[in-house]
Chain A
Amino acid sequence: MNHPNDEQWMSYLYDESDAAQRASLKAHLKTCGECQTKVGEWQATRKNLSEWRVTAKSSPGTPFRAAAPLLKWAAAALILCAGIAIGRLDSATISPEKVRAAIEPQLRREFAQMLNEELSMSSTATLQASAQQTKVMLADYAGAAETSRATDNAAILTALNKLSEQRLADYLLLKKDVDTVAVNTDLGFRSTQQELNQLAVYPPPGSVPNPQLK
């Protein structure tokens, strides 16, 4: 008989073999006493190994808080069960059906009431928190919008002031240029008039010379 090798058995033992291989090994194990002994010893050793385990220190931040509601419900269920058990022990002569029939509607009502209260409290708290959050967000938004508007206004005012100053400077510059042109023009007119006057007193050729010119 061809026995599977140790490597194949290790994959089988630690559940790492594929389905076909596993089925084949399983079939072999059913018919081979030698392999049954070997695999059985390994399985027993695995079990024994688990008797020593190092328990490492629990890391910080254990999610106890997340499990708290569950623990609360578990504690409530435990107390309820204990109550029922004590009740049953105290009234051994009463049949369980009667006890059940007697307490079941009551328990159902109480559970339904507890559930409703829990849901109501939860939804109320959620709505309140949501409304509060919305208010805060709206206030933040309004504040941000106001700040943004104020900043924009300040920027526009600054730009307008700058523009006005620029226009004033340009006007003064232009006025100065116009004045200069006017003065130059006046001087030009005067000079031309003087030249025309000189030209007017100048004698034509062949006329009596001006004694003053001699």
Chain B
Amino acid sequence: MKLTPPGGLSLLFGITDEQAMWRVATEDDEAAFARLMHRWETPIQRLCAHMTGDRQHGEDLAQETFARAFDRRKSFECQGKVSTWLWRIALNLCYDELRRRRRRQETSLEDAGEETGSLGETLAAPEKVPDASLLEKERGELVRQALMRLPETQRAVLVLRHYQDLKFREIAVVLEIPEGTVKSRMAEALTVMNGMLRKTLARTPTQPAAAEPPSKESIVL
């Protein structure tokens, strides 16, 4: 059983996320929850934005994450970490959003008839060569598009490890899968991304063939 120090908001600055969440769960302490939001809002926004490929969606989903977390505050398990709990809620909301988006796309494609072609063809359509001044932005956009084509299970692992900098064992706890599976998915994700980026980024002339196998000397040992 965890102990929480007595006192008001001022004392909250010395307590852990878990103690703050315990106060939220047991006493509906809004100040403690505001502190948790302040601490975790940006990381959750980034996670959602990287999962959905859209910053605005990331912000909306982050808000929704905290709203859901507060609604379900009584179900928070004291032995777990708050961050793990928030990552899970956020990821589930991202999956829901991506599912809705897929349904909308499928519906619009059906409405458009056969002229549009398959979803895979649409997503894999070659990109136009960008203007030189927009190359940097364009390359980022190409990476974003490639990431959005990655299967969600692999994307989640890649985003949590690469963009959120969680350790593999932490990701395993969040996703409730073995650590070995996390690493396998990460390797698969990097391999698939390499295949996609090799095709797309090679068309941007200012950078060297990005995903070409580097020379032996360039490999970080």
Interface residues of A (CB under 8 A from B): 6-7, 9-11, 14, 16, 26, 29-30, 33, 36-37, 39-49, 51-57, 59
Contacts and interface: CB of A to CB of B under 8 A. Distances in A.
B141 A52 contact: yes
30 contacts: A6-B187, A7-B187, A9-B187, A10-B168, A10-B183, A11-B168, A14-B161, A26-B221, A29-B221, A30-B221, A40-B213, A40-B214, A40-B216, A40-B219, A41-B190, A41-B191, A41-B213, A42-B194, A45-B190, A45-B193, A45-B194, A45-B211, A48-B210, A49-B147, A49-B158, A49-B162, A49-B163, A52-B141, A52-B144, A56-B55
Contacts of B58: 54, 56
Contacts of B49: 54, 56
A52 B147 contact: yes
A47 B193 CA distance: 11
Contact of B45 (A43, A47, A48, A56): A56
Categorize the interface residue count of chain B. 35 or more
Interface of B: 38, 41-42, 45-46, 49-50, 55, 58-59, 136, 139-141, 143-144, 147, 158, 161-163, 167-168, 180, 183-184, 186-188, 190-191, 193-194, 197, 201, 210-216, 218-221
B187 A42 contact: yes
A11 B213 contact: no
A61 to B, nearest CB: 8
Contact of B214 (A30, A33, A44, A55): A44
Given A26-B221, A42-B191, A7 B162 contact: no
A54 B191 contact: no
* Interface residues of A, dominant DSSP: helix
Contacts of B218: 40
B190 A46 contact: yes
A47 B147 CA distance: 14
Given A40-B214, A44-B212, A6 B184 contact: yes
* Interface residues of B, dominant DSSP: helix
Contacts of A30: 221
Nearest to B52: A54
A5 B20 CA distance: 42
Contacts of B167: 16
Given A37-B213, A57-B45, A49 B193 contact: yes
Given A6-B187, A49-B143, A51-B139, A44 B46 contact: no
A181 B41 CA distance: 91
Contacts of B41: 59
A194 to B, nearest CB: 84
A7 B219 contact: no
Nearest to A55: B55
Given A40-B216, A52-B147, A56-B42, 19 more contacts: A7-B180, A10-B183, A16-B167, A29-B221, A30-B221, A33-B216, A43-B214, A43-B220, A45-B193, A45-B211, A49-B143, A49-B163, A51-B140, A52-B139, A52-B140, A56-B45, A56-B49, A56-B59, A59-B38
A129 B143 CA distance: 56
B13 to A, nearest CB: 13
B145 to A, nearest CB: 9
| Shortest beta-carbon contacts, A-B, top 8 | A6-B187, A52-B143, A7-B183, A54-B49, A52-B140, A10-B183, A45-B194, A40-B214
B180 to A, nearest CB: 5
A172 B142 CA distance: 106
